[in-house]
Amino acid sequence: MMTSEQDIVDLQVRISFLEDMCETLSKTIANQDRQLMDMQDQLRLIYQQMLKANDAVIAPFDLLADKPPHY
């Protein structure tokens, strides 16, 4: 009988630990999602400011036109 009671206690401790870990991971994911959304908003604002400053679309990279002179 003592073994099964100890097994139950061990299982309860494990479940408690897993519940705490799941809660911590959930909070971490929520924080990272919020940070990612904030960074996407900031990137959008920066891109809009660049477009306004240049009054044109950013030119695409042209490998042949941007070749160094020693080639």
The pLDDT, as a whole number, for residue 51 is 82
The pLDDT, as a whole number, for residue 66 is 66
- 64 found inside a domain: no
- The count of domains in the chain is 1
- 40 found inside a domain: yes
- 59 found inside a domain: no
Of the candidates 25, 47, 43, 23, the one whose C-alpha atom is nearest the C-alpha of residue 35 is 43
Contact 31, 37 (CB under 8 A): no
Backbone angles phi, psi at 25, to 5 degrees: -65, -40
The pLDDT, as a whole number, for residue 63 is 67
- 57 found inside a domain: no
Domain span holding position 40: 16-49
- 66 found inside a domain: no
**For the segment 4-35, what is each residue's pLDDT rounded down to a tens digit?**
999 999 999 999 999 999 999 999 999 999 99
- 23 found inside a domain: yes
Contact 50, 58 (CB under 8 A): yes
Contact 45, 51 (CB under 8 A): no
Integer Rg of the chain from CA:
28
- 45 found inside a domain: yes
pTM metric for this prediction: 0.59
